[in-house]
Structure 1
C-alpha cells in the first residue's frame, strides 16, 4: 500500500503526459440500436422545422417515398408532403433494381406521388424504363420542366413522345440515353423545343454503317444549342458540317465513338471556336442517389405496401402509433 507521503505518479502531474493521452469516445456496434429504448420524454415531432427539413434534404425521392420517413411521426410526414422544394429535382434512376420492386405498380405509384408532391414545381427529371403513360403523366404534372433525362425508355413510342414533349415549353436540356434515337423523334424535338440549349444523344449501336442524313438536319434546326453530345452515332463529315453551319451558338461539342467522322482541315476550321472534349460525358450520378444505398437498407420495409407510404390516410393512425420511431432508420438518416 502506497503511503500518503509517496510521490505521485509522473502521469498525474506531467502536463505533457496528460495532453498526450486523449480520451476516446466510446464506440458501439450498430446492432445496439435495435434494442435501444426511446429516451424518456423525447418527442421527435417537436424537432424544429428547420432541423427536419435539413434531414429530409439529405434523402433522395426513393428514401422519402418508400423509406422510413412516413413511419416517424405526423410532423415528418407533413414536412415531406408540404415542401415542394424537396421535389423540384426528381431522380428515379436505378429504382427497378431496389428490392422489393414491382415495375408496373411501384414505378407508377412513386412517380405519381413525387410529381403530386412537387406541386407543379419540378424542374429536373431523371427517369428509367418509362412507358407512354408515365411520360404523359410527367408532361401533365411538370409544366415548368427545364431538364429532362430519359434512360432506356424503349417502351415510349415515337407518337407518345411527340404528344408529351410538346408540353414542355421551358425545356432547356434534353438527354436521350439508349432510346428514342429515331430521326422522327429528333425532328419532333427540333419543331417543338425551339429554346433547347443542351442536347445529348447516346445510341445503342456502334457508329458504323450508312448515315441517316435526317438526324443531322434535325439537329441543325436546334439553332439555340450551346452544347451537343452525340455518342455512338453514324453521323459523318457532311452531317456534322450541316450542324456547325446552322448552330452558330454552339460552345461545346463531344462526338464520342462516331467513327464515320474524319476531322479534316475544313471541320477543324469550323470547330476552332468550339470547346471539344475528348472525354466521355457521364451522367452526373449523385453521391446520395438511390443506387448508392446497399439493398439491405430496404429490408425493413419488405412487408409494407407502397400505398402505406404514399397515401394521405396514414395520418388516421392512432396517436400512440404515430409517435413510434424506427431507431435503426433514424440512425441512418442522422449520420
Structure 2
C-alpha cells in the first residue's frame, strides 16, 4: 500500500465478518465457489451470517421432493437461529414445517407456496412464528380456516398475507368464506392481502375491509362472486382493490414492512458438486421433465 497505509489480508478477517460480506453473493457462489477458496472462507460460509435470508424457491420447484427436506434442514441448522426470511415451495410433509418453526423462531418472512401441510400442524406451531410480518400460503390445498385463525391469533405483527389459489384447486369447493372470516377476526393489522380465486362472496370481503383498517392493497382476482359498489373508493380512499373481474399484476415487496433487513434476489443457473454435509447433488435444470409446474406466476 502507498504511504505506509494499513493493509489487512482477506484471509485475516474474522469469519463472522467474511460471512456478512459473502451474504451479498449469489446462493450458487456461496455454496460452490467460496468454500473451495480456502479453509477460512469455507468456515465462514458454514456460519450463520450467510444464512439469515434463504430463498430456494426456484431450486425447490425443480429438484426431487426428497432433496427439499434435506437441504432445508442443513441450511436452517447453519443459520443458528438467525434466519429472518425463508422462501421455499413444495414442502412435502408436516414434519419439515415443524422443524422450521422449532429452529427459525426469528422469521419475519415465510413463503411456502404449493406445500403439502395441513391445518393441525400450523395450529400446533403457529405460536413459534410470532414475529412473522409476511406469510405466503398460496396453493396449499390442505390449509383452511383453522390454520389461518391460528396464524392470526399468534402472529400479531402480520402485515402481509398471500393466500392465492389456482382455479383447478377450487374444483369441488363450495365456499371459503370461513377463511375470509378467520382473516377478518384475527388479522387487524394487515396492509396487503392477496386472495385470488378464493370462493368468497361480497359479504366476506366487506367484513375483511371493515375489520382491517390499515389495509392498503386487496387482491381479489378471480373471486367472481364478489361485487363491490362504486362507493367503496369513497369510504376507503387509501385502499387499492385488484379485481375481481380484471387482471392486474401487483408485486409484493415484503421488505416494506420488515425494515431491519433488506431483501436479496438470487440469480443462479446450476449448482455443480455436492453439499458438504448431506451429500446432495445440486443440479437444478438438468434431468427434469418439462411438465413439472415450474414457471407458475405468483398469482394465477
Unaligned 5+ segments in structure 1 are: 1-43, 311-335
> 1:235·1:260 contact (CA, 8 Å) conserved in 2?
yes
Change (3 A) 1:97 1:235: closer
Q: The residue matched to 2:136 in structure 1 has which SS?
A: strand
Aligned to 1:216: 180
> How many residue pairs get matched?
253
Change (3 A) 1:51 1:219: closer
Task: Report how far residue 47 of structure 1 moved.
Answer: 7.2
Change (3 A) 1:169 1:262: same
Aligned to 2:268: 293
> 2:22·2:45 contact (CA, 8 Å) conserved in 1?
no
**Are 1:123 and 2:87 an aligned pair?**
no
**Are 1:89 and 2:53 an aligned pair?**
yes
Task: Report how far residue 249 of structure 1 moved.
Answer: 1.9
State the alpha-carbon separation in 1 of the partners of residues 275 and 11 from structure 2.
28
Aligned to 1:307: 277
Change (3 A) 1:189 1:78: same
Aligned to 1:313: none
Which has more radius of gyration? Answer: 1
State the alpha-carbon separation in 1 of the partners of residues 278 and 215 from structure 2.
48
Task: Report how far residue 54 of structure 1 moved.
Answer: 3.5
Task: Report how far residue 225 of structure 1 moved.
Answer: 1.2
Which of 99, 103, 110 is the aligned partner of 1:137? 99
Unaligned 5+ segments in structure 2 are: 1-8, 255-262, 281-300
> 1:109·1:306 contact (CA, 8 Å) conserved in 2?
no
Task: Report how far residue 242 of structure 1 moved.
Answer: 1.0
Aligned to 1:280: 249
Aligned to 2:257: none
**Higher percent of residues as helix:** 1
Aligned to 2:127: 166
- What is the root-mean-square deviation in Å for CA atoms of aligned residues? 3.1
State the alpha-carbon separation in 1 of the partners of residues 249 and 205 from structure 2.
18
Per-residue CA deviation, residues 215-239 of structure 1 (Å, 9 max, x unaligned), is 2211111111122111111221111
Q: TM-score, normalised by structure 1?
A: 0.66
Aligned to 1:5: none
User: What does residue range 1-335 of structure 1 map to in structure 2 within 5 Å?
Assistant: 46=11, 54-60=21-27, 63-65=29-31, 67-82=32-47, 84-96=48-60, 102-104=64-66, 106-130=67-91, 131-154=93-116, 156-179=117-140, 180-205=142-167, 210-221=174-185, 222-277=187-242, 279-282=248-251, 288-289=265-266, 292-295=267-270, 298=271, 300-301=272-273, 304=274, 306-307=276-277
State the alpha-carbon separation in 2 of the partners of residues 232 and 112 from structure 1.
33
> 1:45·1:76 contact (CA, 8 Å) conserved in 2?
no
State the alpha-carbon separation in 2 of the partners of residues 242 and 97 from structure 1.
35
